[in-house]
Amino acid sequence: MIVQPVLVVAAALFSLGIYGILVRRNAVMVLLSIELILNSVNINFIMFDTMLADVLMQGQIFTIFIITIAAAEVGIGLAIVLMLFRNRQTANINEFDLMKW
């Protein structure tokens, strides 16, 4: 299997995640876009792990750690969104301008 298509697809997922973060207005949708970015990083890690045939399998181990940290991140992120929604009655991030100078 050739490496380049997988790398280009991972780059595409990364840039789609960036697009989602910049364009989406709902905070939960921004978190979804962050998941896309993490997923593209996972694809890169797994592909290089297989390509280099690493003896210690550090690519796979890092991917498992990234998945764990992403689960924790989603939990905390949604808790924050929930608290913001409770205080401001909206989940649109362009209305959270309390800390804007």
Partner 1 sequence: MEIFEIVTYFVLLLLVSTAVRVVTTSNVIHAAISLVFTLALTSVLFLLLSTEFVALVLVLVYIGAVIVLFLFGIMITRAPLGKNAELDNDKNKKLGAAIAGSIFFLFSYILVNGFDGEVIITSGSSTELLGEILLSRFVFPFELVSFVLLAALIGGITLARKDEALIDEDQV
Minimum distance, C-beta of residue 46 to partner 1, in the bound complex (Å)? 5
Beta bridge partners of residue 92, listed in sequence order: 26
Letter for the amino acid at 21? I
* Positions in 74-93 near partner 1 (CB under 8 A): 74-76, 78-83, 85-86, 91-92
Per the DSSP assignment, residues forming a β-bridge with 26 are 92
Residue pair 66/41 in contact (Cβ under 8 Å)? The answer is: yes
**Any contact of residue 37 with partner 1 (CB under 8 A)?**
no
Q: Cα separation of 84 and 90, whole Å? A: 8
d(CA 45, CA 84): 34
Q: How far is the CB of 38 from partner 1 (least distance, A)?
A: 10
Closest CB to partner 1 among 20 and 101?
Answer: 20
Rule CB under 8 A: is residue 35 a binding residue for partner 1?
yes
The span from the CA of 78 to the CA of 84, in Å, is 10
Give the binding site for partner 1 (CB under 8 A). Answer: 1-9, 11-20, 22-29, 31-33, 35-36, 39, 42-43, 46-47, 49-51, 53, 56-57, 60-61, 63-65, 67-76, 78-83, 85-86, 91-92, 94
